[in-house]
A and B are shown apart, each in its own frame.
Chain A
Amino acid sequence: MRDRPQISFLVDGVEVPAEEGTMLVDAAKHGDVEIPVFCYEPKLGEPVGACRMCLVEIEGIPKLQTACSTPVRDGMVVYTRTDRVQAAQESVVEFLLVNHPLDCPVCDKGGECPLQDIAMGWGPGRSRVIDPKRHFQKPIPLSPLIKIDRERCILCYRCVRFSQEVAEDEQLQLLERGASTFVGTFDDRPYIAPFHGNIIELCPVGALTSDAYRFRARPWDIEDAGSICTLCPSQCNVILTVRDEQIERVLARDHPEVDDGWLCDKGRFGYQMAESGDRITQPLVRQGGELRPAGWEQALEAATASLRRAGERTAAIVGGGSSNEEGYLAQRIIRRALGSPHVDSRPRGGASEPPRKSVGGRTPPDPAARDLLLELSRPELAAGVADLDSAQSILVVGTDPLHVMPILDLRIRKVVRRNGTRLAVATDRPSALDGGAEETARYVPGFTRGFLWALAAEVGLEGYERGPGELAGDAERIAGVLEPGSTVIVWGGEADRALVDIAAKLNAKLLEIPDGANARGLREVGCLPHAGPGLSEASDGRNAGEIRDALAAKELEAAFLLNADPVRDFPGGPAWTEALGKAKFVLAVSMFENASTRHADVVFPAEFYAEKEGTVTHPDGRLQRLRPGVPRPDGVRPIWQVLVELSALLGDETGIDSPPEALSAIASEVPFYAGITHEEIGGRGVRWQERDAASAFPERETNGASISGWLSLEGDGDTHTGLQIGTYRDLWASEVTDRSPALRFLAPRQTLELSPADADRLGVVQGEEVDVRSNGASVRARLAIRERIRPGAGFLVEGTVEANANALEPGVLVEIAKVGGEK
C-alpha cells in the first residue's frame, strides 16, 4: 500500500480526517456519514458510477457528483443531506423501483437487502408509478446452484463485473440494451464457473439467490459463526450461517491478506457434506469381517491393543485437512507412544515423482531433504499472499492454482489486471492463468525439475545445465519476465533445490501451493518422516510411498490414517489398496466410509471443519483459528481429545486437556511458533514469520554444501514417439463434491486430454472412450481435444471416483486403445 498524505475535509459540517485520494463514500464513513450505494464495490475494481445512488453536493462543482468515484481532497466541502441531494437520492430510489416488483414478503433477501434498507433510509416513501412493470419468467436457474429473478434486478452490474473483471470467465453478460437490459449467458446456457457463487453475495437485491439456501431461513432466524474453510490450502475466512445448529450457508469473511473476500464454489457449497446422511457418526470396529458400530470405549480399546502390538511397525498418514493439533498429536503418538519414525503428510512424499530417465536416474539423498525443507521454509524467503499485490512479476511454476488453491488464481488475475504485474507460467498442463501471462512454457509431463534447472542456468546459477534447445529457450523467455527484487514464485509439486537458488539469485520470494489444506502446518508440527515438530531433526522414517510399499511387503504392520484416503488421493491407488489390505491393522479417522476405510479395522468418526476447535497454518505461514460454529453430531468426539486419550492409553500422557493446551504443547516444540496463543491468532490470524519467534527458525545442517551440479539433463523427453502421461488434481475431483448434493453435478468423469495433432495421429475423436494403459495398469477415459496441450503429452484426472488416474505413474509412456472398436 502506498502511503498517502492525511488530509481533512468537511462532510455535512463535520471536519473529518482522511487519506488523500480515498473515495468520498469511504472517507465520509470516518465522519459517521453513510452515503448509500448499489454499484460501488471496491473489490470489483474501479468505480463505475452507474447506479447514481451516491450523488452528493461538493462546493465549487455545479453538478452533483458520485461519491463513489470522487477522490477526497484537502479542504473539500461535501453535503450529503441537502434538499438538492435528498431530492436526487429520492429520485434514484424512485427510478430503481419503477421496475422492481416490491415482493419483499416472498423474497429471500428480505431483511438483509440493501435495496430495502436504502429505500427505507433514502427513498421518497411513496411511489408515483402506476404503469406496468417489466416481466420475466422467474425464478429460473442461472446455473444449477443459482436462481435468477430478473424482475428484482436493479441492473447494478456487480455480478457481470465479477464475471468479467474478477473471475474473468466472461460467461455472465448483459444482454439487450437500455431498459430491456438483462443479465444472462450465451444462448441461455448455464453459468458454470468455479467462483460464480460470489455473485450471490454481491447482489444487492434478491435477484441472485442460492438454490441451496432459498427459503431456508430469514435473517432473524440465523446466527453467524466465523471460522476458516479447510477444504483447500486457500484457507479462506468464512462466516457460517447457522440455523437450529445446522449450517445453512457459507459466506465470505473478507480478509484482504488471505482471500480478498471471495470464496470458491467448493468452499461456498461444500458445507453440505457435514449434513450428509452417509456420515460416520459413531466409532466402527471390524467384527466378523465387517465394520460395525461400537462404543467409544470399545473402539479405543481395540485400537490401543492393535497399535501396541504393532508398536514401531506402525506408520501414520496424516491427511491435509487435519488441524495442527491433530497432526501434532498423531505424530506424537507414532513417535513417542509407539516409537516409530514413520509418519508423513505429503501425498507425494518425495518419491511419488519417480526418477525420470531424463533426469539422470538419481533421487536426492535424504540428508539433503531436510535441508531443502529448511531452506524452502525460511522466513526471509516466504511470500505472504499480500506480497503478490506489490510484486512486479510473478512466476507460477509446476502448479495450476485454480485446481489446488483456487483463491490464489483470483488473486493473480487481480494483480495482472489492475497492477499490470508481469506473469509467467511454466507448467506441463495448460493453466487457467495462461491468458494473462506474458510468457508461458509448456514442458513434458512431470518435468518441473528439468524446467527449474534450465531456469536456474538461465539466471546465471553455477552448476545447473540449460538443457536442450527447447527447454533453454523456454527458460530464457520466462526469465525475461521476472523482475529481480520484486518477484514472487508461486510453486507446486516436488520441492527442488533450484527453487531456493533461483529465489536467492533473483531476490525473489516463494509461495508454495501444497497438496493439502493444512500441509504447511502439518509439516511444521512434525508430520514428516525426516523432520519432527518445528522441522527438528528426526530419525529417518519412511515417506508415504515407502510406507505403502513397506505395508505391502509386511515390513510395517499397522497404518493410522488420520483424515486421509490414500487409495483415492495418493499416487498409486491400487498399490495402496493392496498395502492396506495386507496391513494387520488399520485405524482410520474419517467422516465417511471410503476406499481406504474399507480396509480399516477401527474407524473413529471425524469432525467437519466447522465443528473443530484448533489451528491451521496457511501456506504463507499464517496461523488461523478454527472455531466450532455448529455442534458435532451425537457420537462424534473432538479428535484432538480422542488422540490425547489414545496417546495416554498407549502410555504417553500428554497433559493436554483443551485445544489451547494442545496449541501450547505445539508452541513449546516448534520454536518459531513459540508463545503463540489463540488470543494472539484471533479472528485475523498471524503469520509466524512476522513474529519475533521467527528468529528461532532452525539453521540447516550441512553447511553450504552445494547439491547442484550433480545432476545433468539428458534429453528433453520430446523424443518419445508414444504418449507421455501427466495427471492433475481437478478442483472438483474430491469427496467434498461427491458428498455435497449441490456440487455433485460437477464431479469430473475421467478424461484424457490430447493435442489435436495427437488425436489425429491416434485416430481418436472428441468424446470417444479410450483405455490408457501402461505397465499393466489401465484407466478408461473419455477423450477431450485441447489445443493448448503439448503434443506428445496426455493428461488424466487424479482423484476421480471411477477410473482414478492415480493408478498410472505420472510421466510414463502409455498406449491408447479404443474402446468398443470403430465408432
Chain B
Amino acid sequence: MMDAGARDEVPVHAAEPAAPSAPEPAGNVAEGEASGGVIPELHEVDVPDELREEIETAMSRYPEIRSAALPALWAVQREYGWCTPDGVRQAAAVMGVTPGYLESLATFYDLFRTTPVGRHQVLVCHNISCWMRGADDLLRAFSEAAGADAHEADHGGASSADGEVFVMGFECLGACDIAPMASIDERYYGPLDAGDAETAVEQLRSGAEVLPDKALADRPAAGGPEPEPAPETRMLFKSLDEPGLASIDTYRRLGGYSSLERAFRDLEPEELLGVLEESGLRGRGGAGFSMGRKASFLPRGEMSKYLCCNADESEPGAFKDRELMQKNPHQLIEGIAIAALAAGAGWGFVFIRGEYAAVADILDRAVAEAYEAGYLGENILGSGSRVEVVVHRGAGAYICGEETALLDALEGKRGNPRLKPPFPAIQGLYGGPTLINNVETLSNVPHIVANGAEWFKGLGTEQSPGTKVVSVSGCVQRPGNYEVALGIPTRELIYGLAGGPPPGREVKAWFPGGSSAPILTAAELDLPYSFEAMADAGSMLGSGSIIVADDSISIPELALRTARFYHHESCGKCTPCREGTNWTVKMLERVISGEATPMDLDIIASVQENIIGHCLCVLGDSMAMPVSSMVAKFREEFEEHIRRVASDSPGSGADGAAGLHAQGAEGDRSSGEAGGGTSSLAPASGRHA
C-alpha cells in the first residue's frame, strides 16, 4: 500500500504548487454514487497491481506527477481496452487526482476511447492526401470487411458485432507517403486497397500477421537508397536506409555521437550557442525562427530549465519527422543532448504524437541505449552535466503541435494554447525557462557541431541555410520525403523528385506548407521553394509539406476536408476558432449539398476574415487562410458546384439535405438525438452519445 505520507513525498516542482486536495464532500454524500467526483482513495478502488505499478513508474519519471496523466490513461486503456469509468477512478486514486480531471483529458484526446470498442483498432486516415488517393473507399472497405457501420466509422468509429475490430476514420496520421493508409493496432500500413482491407480484417480475426508486405516499418526512403546526387542533398537523410541505423552501434560506426562527445568534453555552453546562432539554422517546425537565437533567450544561471522536442508532427501533409525518428533516432537524441547542454536544460522531453506509437517505441529503445552508453543521464561523459530524456506520448490532438499547447499537454492538461507573453523561453514547462524545437531542427545540431557553422551556411540559401526535408504527397506518383537545399524550383520537387501527377493529369493547386498554407496554383510552380518566395506568393513554406491537387480534385470538397480537419482539431478555448471553424464547416457542407447560394460564399469569405488575427493561437488562421484562398482563387468552381448539384437533383434541395444529414458530421449531431442520452447528465452529442 502506498500511504498518504508517500504520496505527499512525490516530488513537486516548486514553481507551481500541487493543487491542494479538494475539499471533502459533506458527510452523507461522501458515499456511493455521489462521491464519484472527489479523489478516490486506494481502498475504494480495486487497482490491479500491474496497472498501479505502471502508473507509479510513470509518476516517478516526471518532475510533476500530473505529467503522468496521459501515460496513466494509456495504461488504463491497455488494461481494459478503453478508458472505463472504473479504470479512470483507479488511475485517479493512484495519482491522487479527481477522476473528472482524467476524464476531461480522455475526452480531449482522440486516441482515448471512452466507450467500449473492438479489440483491434483500425484507424483509417481520411485527411487530404489519403482522401485524394481513395481513403473514403478504403474506410468503407474496412467497415464492410469488419461488418461495422461505415457512416459511424467515419464519425467517431464503429466496432464489429463480434467485438474484434474497431474501425475509425481518423485525421492525418502523418503517413501521406503511403496514402491511402491505416494504422492497425498502432502499426502503419499502406498504400492499401479494398482487397488489403479485407485481408487485414481476416488476419486480425485469425491472429495472423497483418499485411507484412504493406508495413511502413520496412519501407525504404522515397528517393531510394542511392539517390541521384542532385537535386537531393542528403545530410539528415544520409545512410537513411542503412540496415540497423536505429541501433546505437550502427549509428556510432557511421560517426554518430562524435559531436556529442566533443560538445560535452570540449565545448562550453556559450560556445555551442554561438555556433548554433552563427549557423543560421532556422526552426523546421513551421515558424522558421533562428534556433540559436531562441536558445539564447533562456535566462542564464542555476534553475530548472527544460528542452522540449516537438515531435507532434500532425499537420496534414507533413511526415518528415516521423521518418527521421523512425530511421535515425540517435541523430535526434544526439541533437537533443547537445541542445540541452547549450541551453542549460537538465531535462529533454520528446513530445511525440500518440499515433506514432511504433516510432515512439523505436525512440524509447534508442534512449535506453543512449543512457546505457553514458550519453544521457547524470554526469554525461564525466562532464558533470546532466540531461534526462523522456519520450512523452501524446494521445491524438493536432493542437499539441502548438508550442504552448504542447507544454500544457506535457504538464498533464488539456492541450490548450497559452497566452503569450510569457514566452516559453522565460516561463515554459512547469513554469521554468523552456526551449522548444522541432525534430528536424534538433537533428541538424550534430551536423553543425561536427562541421561548423560556415559549412552549414554553405548549404541552401543565405536566409535559409542548410537542407530541408520536404514531404511531398497527394496527387503525385512518388510521394515521400525528399531532402533538398532550399531554393530549388518547386517544379523540380513536385515533378522531378515526386514524379508529378499521374499521366494525363495536371497540377491544379498545391499547398506549399501543409494544409494550413494558402493554396497556390499551377502558375506558381516555378517559384523557388524557400521561406521567402512562398511568403511573397501569399503563402508559406511552413514545415515544408507539399500537397498536390491535380485536376481531378474538387476544390469545394478540398475546402470542406480542410475545414473539417481544423474544426475537429480546434481545442475550443477561444471563440473565433471554436465557432468560426464550426460555422465554416456547416456552410461548406451546404455548398457541397447545393443548398448554398453565392451569398454564402461571401459569408464564408467574411467569416474567414473575422477569424484571421483574432484567435489565441494560429489554429483558427490555419483554416481561415487556406479556405479563404480557395474561395478567392476558385470562386467560379464553387458557384458552378452549387449550380450543378442543385440542378442534378431538381426540386430536391430537401433530398440533398437529407442525404447530407445522413452522412454529414454536424447534421445528425444537431438533430434528433437530444433525448437519447442514457443518463440525466449525458450530452446530446459527442462521443458520449
Contact A177 B107 (CB under 8 A): yes
Whether the pair A192, B85 counts as a contact (CB closer than 8 A) is: no
B28: which A residues are within 8 A, CB to CB? 746-749, 751
Closest Cβ–Cβ distance, residue B682 to chain A (whole Å): 6
Query: How far in angstroms is the closest Cβ of chain A from B564?
Result: 11
The answer to whether B23 and A178 touch across the interface, beta carbons within 8 angstroms, is no
A169-B572 in contact given A187-B103, A402-B23, A787-B3 (Cβ < 8 Å): no
| Cβ distance B300 to chain A, nearest Cβ, rounded Å | 23
A409 within 8 A of B: yes
Say whether B43 contacts A787, CB under 8 Å.
yes
Q: Which of A179-197 contact B (CB under 8 A)?
A: 179-182, 184-195
B574 surroundings in chain A (CB, below 8 A) = 49-52
Q: Are A164 and B685 in contact (CB under 8 A)?
A: no
| B74-114 residues at the A interface, CB under 8 angstroms | 85, 88, 96-104, 107-108
Which residues of A lie under 8 Å from residue B582 when comparing CB positions? 98-99, 178-179
Which one of A94, A178, A732 lies within 8 Å of B610 (CB-CB)? A94
Contact of A137 among B33, B97, B419, B675 (CB under 8 A): B675
Alpha-carbon distance between A170 and B4 when the two chains are bound, in angstroms: 19
The interface-forming segment of B129-137, B445-453, B516-524, B611-619 is: B611-619
When the two chains form their complex, are residues A133 and B569 in contact, meaning their CB atoms are under 8 A apart? no
Most chain A CB within a 10 A radius of its CB, from B33, B575, B586, B675: B575
Which of A63, A92, A177 is close to B397, meaning CB atoms less than 8 Å apart? A177
CB neighbours of B107 from chain A (8 A): 175-177
From A128, A416, A745, A788, contact of B603 by CB (8 A): A128
User: Contact: A131 with B103, CB < 8 Å?
Assistant: no
The listed residue (B18, B103, B610, B685) touching A136 by CB distance below 8 A is B685
Give Cα A182 to B687, complex, Å.
12
| A173 beta carbon closer than 8 Å to chain B | yes
- With beta carbons under 8 angstroms apart, the residue of B33, B96, B419 that contacts A69 is B419
- Docked-complex contact B19 and A436, CB < 8 angstroms: yes
Knowing A132-B670, A150-B683, A169-B22, say if A177 contacts B37 (CB, 8 Å).
Answer: no
Flag if B29 contacts A170 (CB, 8 Å): no
Contacts A51-B575, A131-B587: A95 and B580 contacting too (C-beta < 8 A)? yes
Tell whether B679 is near chain A: CB-to-CB under 8 Å.
yes
**In this assembly, does A25 line the interface, its C-beta being within 8 Å of a C-beta of chain B?**
no
Closest Cβ of chain A to B542, distance in Å, is 19
Instruction: Give the contacts of A387-429 with B (CB-CB under 8 A).
Output: 402, 409, 413, 416-417, 420
Chain B residues lying within 8 Å of A733, measured Cβ to Cβ, are 27
Q: Are A186 and B578 interface neighbours, CB within 8 A?
A: no
B570 and chain A: residue at smallest CB distance: A178
**Chain B positions 526-574 with a Cβ under 8 Å from a chain A Cβ:** 567-574
A341 → chain B, closest Cβ, in Å? 39
Residues of A within 8 A of B644 (CB): none
Asked whether any CB of chain A lies closer than 8 Å to the CB of B650, the reply is no
- Check if B206 is an interface residue, CB within 8 A of chain A: no
B583: Cβ under 8 A from any A Cβ: yes
Q: Is the Cβ of B36 less than 8 Å from the Cβ of A186?
A: yes
CB distance A174 to B19 under 8 Å? no
Q: How many A residues have CB within 8 A of the partner chain?
A: 102
A24 neighbours in B (Cβ, 8 Å): none
Q: Say if the beta carbon of A678 comes within 8 Å of chain B.
A: no
Q: Please tell me if A473 contacts chain B, counting CB pairs below 8 Å.
A: no
For residues 123 through 163 of chain B, which have their beta carbon under 8 Å from a beta carbon of chain A? none
B491 adjacent to chain A (CB < 8 Å): no
Assess A136 versus B419: contact at CB under 8 Å? Given A49-B616, A787-B42.
no
A11 interface contact, C-beta 8 A: no
List B21-41 residues whose CB lies under 8 Å from chain A. Answer: 21-31, 33-34, 36-38, 41
Q: Tell me whether A194 and B23 are in contact in the complex, defined as CB-CB below 8 angstroms, given that A55-B614, A170-B101 are known contacts.
A: yes
Chain B residue at smallest Cβ distance from A264: B23
Closest to A175 in B: B107
Contact B685 A435 (CB under 8 A): no
The reply to whether the CB of A357 lies closer than 8 angstroms to some CB of chain B is: no
Shortest beta-carbon distance from A470 to chain B in Å: 13
- Say yes or no for B392: interface residue by CB 8 A criterion: no
Whether, in the assembled complex, A155 has its beta carbon less than 8 Å from a beta carbon of chain B, the answer is: yes
Most chain B CB atoms below 10 A, which of A69, A141, A176, A178: A178
Q: Is the CB of B27 within 8 A of A749?
A: yes
Tell me the chain A residues, 46-104 only, with Cβ under 8 Å from chain B.
47-53, 55, 63-64, 66, 69, 87-88, 91-92, 94-96, 98-99
Q: Which of A66, A96, A189, A732 contacts B37 (CB 8 A)?
A: A189
CA of A131 to CA of B661 in the docked complex: distance in angstroms? 12
Q: Which of B191-236 contact A (CB under 8 A)?
A: none
A95 and B23 contact, CB distance less than 8 A? no
Contacts A137-B683, A172-B100, A186-B99 given; indicate if A181 touches B18 (C-beta within 8 A).
no
A730 touches B27 (CB 8 A): yes
Say yes or no: A167 contacts B681, CB within 8 Å: no
Asked if A318 is at the interface of the complex by the 8 Å CB criterion, the answer is: no
| B579 interface contact, C-beta 8 A | yes
Bound together, the chains give a CA A430 to CA B586 distance in angstroms of: 53
User: What would 29 A/B residue contacts be, using CB atoms closer than 8 Å?
Assistant: A50-B574, A55-B614, A69-B419, A88-B614, A131-B583, A131-B586, A131-B587, A132-B671, A136-B684, A140-B681, A168-B20, A169-B37, A174-B414, A175-B107, A178-B571, A178-B581, A179-B567, A180-B669, A181-B572, A186-B88, A187-B99, A193-B23, A194-B26, A409-B23, A432-B23, A432-B24, A436-B17, A732-B26, A784-B30
- Given A420-B17, A435-B20, output 9 extra A-B contacts at Cβ < 8 Å: A95-B578, A134-B684, A135-B684, A170-B97, A171-B98, A182-B686, A187-B85, A190-B34, A747-B28
The 6 closest A-B pairs by CB, nearest first: A748-B27, A436-B20, A435-B21, A188-B681, A91-B610, A186-B100
